[in-house]
Structure 1
Amino acid sequence: MIDSNRLEALAPILNNYHIEPYFVEDFGPVQKIYSNKGTFALKKIVPSIGTDFIHHVHTLYQKGYNRIVPIYPTMDGRYGVLYEQDLYYLMPWMSNDLKENPEQKNLQLFRELARFHTLSVKEIPVSKEERTEHYEKTVQQLEKNQEFLDGFIDECEKKTYMSPFELLYCLYYNEISQALRFSKSKFEEWYENSKEAEKARMVITHGKLSSEHFLYDDRGYGYFINFENARYGSPIHDMLPFLSRSLNTMPKRNDDTINWVFHYFKYFPYKADEKLLFLSYLAYPIPVIQVAESYFRKRQSKIELKWVRQLQRSYWHLKNSEYVVMRMVEIENQAKEGAQQQ
C-alpha cells in the first residue's frame, strides 16, 4: 500500500474516468487501484510511446479477438491521460491467481498468439529488389561473422600459452562454425524458395511476448497485456525472442519448447519459406559470436572468469537451440515421408 500523498497525486488522472480511489498498491509501472467502481490497473508509460498501439488492440477486437485486457476510455473518449510528463492508461485488474502448470500456461499462450496472428494476417507487396537487398546484406553479415571466427582461432592457435577463454573458444569453434553454416544454408534456401514471390505475410505482433504478459481472470481464461510495442510485422518477430529466452539455460533437451512451436503451428502454420527463415534465425549463434567479439575487442585487462562464464552460457544457448532446430527438422522430414507414403 502507498501513502495518502500518492493517492492524492493519482486522483487527477482517475478523475478523467470518474473514478474515486480508496487506496492504491504499487507494482512498479502499474498501480492497483481500489475504487468506488471496482479494482483497476493504471499503467504508466513514456509519452513517446503514445497510444498508437491502441489502434492495433482495437483492430483485433473488431476482428473478433477478445483475449486482450481491454483499455478503458476516459469520459471524453481518450485512451490515455497525459499528466506531469507521463502517459497513463486504465485497464481492469486481472487476478492471475490460477495455479496452472507452467507448461499448460505456455501452450495456451502460444495457442492465443496463433489465433490473433491468424485474425490479423494480411499480405503486403514486397519487390524483388527489396528481397534481394535483404538477402545480400544478411549473407554479407554471416560471412563477416565467419571471417571473425576463423581469424580469432588463427590468432589463438599462434600463441604458446592461450588464456582460459581462448582455450575454451578453440574447443567450441567447430560447433559455432557449424551452427553458422547451417543458419546460412537455411537462409539461402529461403531466398531460393521466395525470390520470385511478390508478397509476404504480415500480422499484428505483440512486440514483447512473455509469460508475464499473459494473465488469467477469475474464470481461468488467459489474456494478453502490454501491447505498447505492437505493430505489423513477420510472425517470426514474436516467436524468436520468446524462444531464445527459454533456451537461455544449462544444456537440456528442450522438448517443451518444441511442443510450444508445433502447438502454435497447429493454429497458424508457417509457409515453407517462413519455416526456412525461422530455422535460420533460430540456429544463428549470434550470442556466442558477440561474446567472442567483445572479448577480442577488449584489449585492456580482462577478468578471465567472467568472460569464460559468459562464453560458456552462450555456448549452452547454442546447444539448446541446436537441439530444438534439429528436432524440428527431424519432425518435419518424418511428416513429409509419411505424407509421401500415403
Structure 2
Amino acid sequence: MQWEKVWEAYNINPIQIDKITDRVYKITTNTTIYGLKISKLTIDHIGHWHAVYNYICTHQIYGFVPLILTKDKEPYYILNQTVLFVHPWVESNRTEHIIDESASFFHAIGKLHGSTTQYVDNNENTFNYQSFDRKQKKEELLEYIKFFEAKRFMSPFELQACMHYRDIEWIIEQFEKWNDVYKGLSQETSQRKIVLCHNNLNPSHYVMLDDHLYFFNWEYARIATPIHDICFYLKHAFRYHDCDMKKIVEGLTIYQQYIQLDDREKCELQLQLLNIDSYIYLLENYVHQSMRLEIQMSKGLEQAFRQLLFANQLQTYMFPRLQVNQEED
C-alpha cells in the first residue's frame, strides 16, 4: 500500500499505524486517531454509493459515523483501483453477541428508518422472496434424510440433520401459512414504504458512544424496504443458542414507535426468516463436497437451524398482531 499518497490526500501525518483487520487500520497522529477502511466497493459502484452519501448529507441524517474528506473535498480516496474511506476512530468493546444492546439498536434503526421513510408505487419487485412448492420442498428435504439414514454410521453433521427433520418439516408448514396470508395482501394497497437501509448490519458495523448507537461501514447503504435491515439483524441474533426472544419482541415494539410495520411487511419479515433455502443449501453442499471441514459445517448447520427455530418463535408474537386477523375476529 502506497501510504504516502493516502496521507497526502487527507493531509494527515501518522505517528503509528496499527493493522486491526485485513481491511481496517488504526491511524494515530499527534492530535487525532483515525480509522482507515479498505472498501470492497468497486469503482463501477462508487457512483451509487456517492448518491446515497449525498442523500445522507443533504437530509442531515443522524446516526452515521462521519467520513473525513480529502483535500479535494471527496468522501473517499481511490488508490490503485481500491476505494478507501477515512473516519474518526471509534472504540467498541462489544462481543459478537448483540442481544444485550437490542433496545439501543432498535431505537437507532427506528430513527434512521422513520426519518427517511418514503412511499412509492407498489411494485412486486420491491420485495423478492423465493416461494416454493411445499410438497416439493418436503420431498427434497426427505431425500437428504433418507440418504443420511441409509449409512451404517452417520457423521455428526448427518445425525444433526436427521434430528432436525421434524422441526424443519413444521417450519415448511409455517412458511406456507404466511405465504397464503401474503398473497391476499400483496395487491391490496397501491403504495409501500421504502427507507434508507444500512444493508450490512452485523455487530461490527455499529458502536455505542455516550449512550447513542452509531453506524459505520455503510458503503453498501441503499434505499429498500424497512424489512431489509430488520431481517439482517434478526438472522444474526438468531444464530445464538441463548437468544432472548423477550428482548427481541421489546425491540420490535420500540422500533414501531418510529415506523409502523403493516401486515404485508410483517409477512415479508416472516417469509424471509422462515425460508429454509439456506438450510437446504448446507445439506446439498455437504453431500457434494469430497473434502469436508466437519466441525465448521456442523456449526453452520446448527446456526441455520437456530435461525429457523427462533423465527418460528417470533411468529407467535407476529401472527396475532396482523390486522387481518383482528378484522376476522
TM-score by length of 1: 0.78
Gaps of 5+ in 1: 1-5
Residue of structure 1 in register with 2:39 after alignment? 45
- Rounded to whole Å, the distance in 2 between the matches of 1:303 and 1:22 is 42
Q: Deviations over 1:184-224 (max 9, x none)?
A: 2212211211224333221111011123211234x443211
Which residue pairs with 1:3 in the alignment? Answer: none
Larger radius of gyration: 1
Q: CA deviation at 1:98?
A: 9.4
Q: Which residue of 2 aligns with 1:92?
A: 88
Query: Where does residue 329 of structure 1 map in the other structure?
Result: 319
| 2:219 paired with 1:228 | yes
- Structure 1 position 225, deviation (Å): 0.2
| Partner Cα distance (1:333, 1:134) in 2 | 21
Matching of residue 202 in structure 1 with residue 194 in structure 2: yes
Aligned pair partner of 2:260 in 262, 269, 272:
269
Deviates more, 1:145-154 or 1:65-74: 145-154
Aligned to 2:307, which of 317, 332, 336? 317
Structure 2 residue runs of 5 or longer lacking an equivalent are: none
SS of residue matched to 1:319: helix
Once the two structures are TM-superposed, the CA of residue 177 in structure 1 deviates from its matched residue by 1.7
* Amino acid in structure 2 at the alignment position of 1:321: A
Query: Is the CA contact (8 Å cut-off) linking 2:37 and 2:84 kept in structure 1?
Result: yes
SS of the residue corresponding to residue 43 of structure 1 reads strand
Instruction: Name the counterpart of 2:204.
Output: 212
Partner of 1:35: 29
Q: Is the 8 A contact 2:39 2:83 kept in 1?
A: yes
Contact 1:206 1:229 in 2 (8 A): yes
For each residue in 1:241-296, what CA deviation from the matched residue of structure 2 results, as whole angstroms up to 9, or x when unmatched?
22112111236653222222222222222111101111222222334323333345
- For 1:38, the aligned partner's letter is T
Match of residue 240, structure 2, among 242, 249, 259:
249
Cα separation, 1, equivalents of 2:295 and 2:205: 35
Cα distance in 1 for partners of 2:243, 2:35 equals 38
Report the RMSD for the aligned CA atoms in angstroms: 3.7
Alpha-carbon separation, structure 1, partners of 2:119 and 2:240: 36
Which residue in the other structure is 1:17 paired with? 10
Larger deviation, residues 144-153 vs 232-241: 144-153
The more displaced of 37-46 and 264-273 is 37-46
* Preserved CA contact (<8 Å) 1:206 1:238: yes
Is the contact made by 1:253 and 1:320 (CA closer than 8 Å) also made in structure 2? Answer: no
1:266 match: secondary structure: coil
Deviation, structure 1 residue 27: 1.7
In the alignment, what sits opposite 1:68?
64
Match of 1:279 in 2: 270
Q: Does 1:290 align with 2:286?
A: no
Q: Partner residue of 2:104?
A: 108
Determine what percentage of the aligned residue pairs are the same residue. 18
Contact 2:195 2:226 in 1 (8 A): yes
**2:165 corresponds to:** 173
SS in structure 2 of the partner of residue 73 of structure 1 = coil
Q: Deviations over 1:268-326 (max 9, x none)?
A: 2211110111122222233432333334555x698988766655554333323222222
Letter in structure 1 aligned against 2:66 = P
- TM-aligned CA distance change 1:205 to 1:312, over 3 Å: closer
Aligned with 2:120 (options 124, 135, 150): 124
**1:182: which partner in 2?**
174
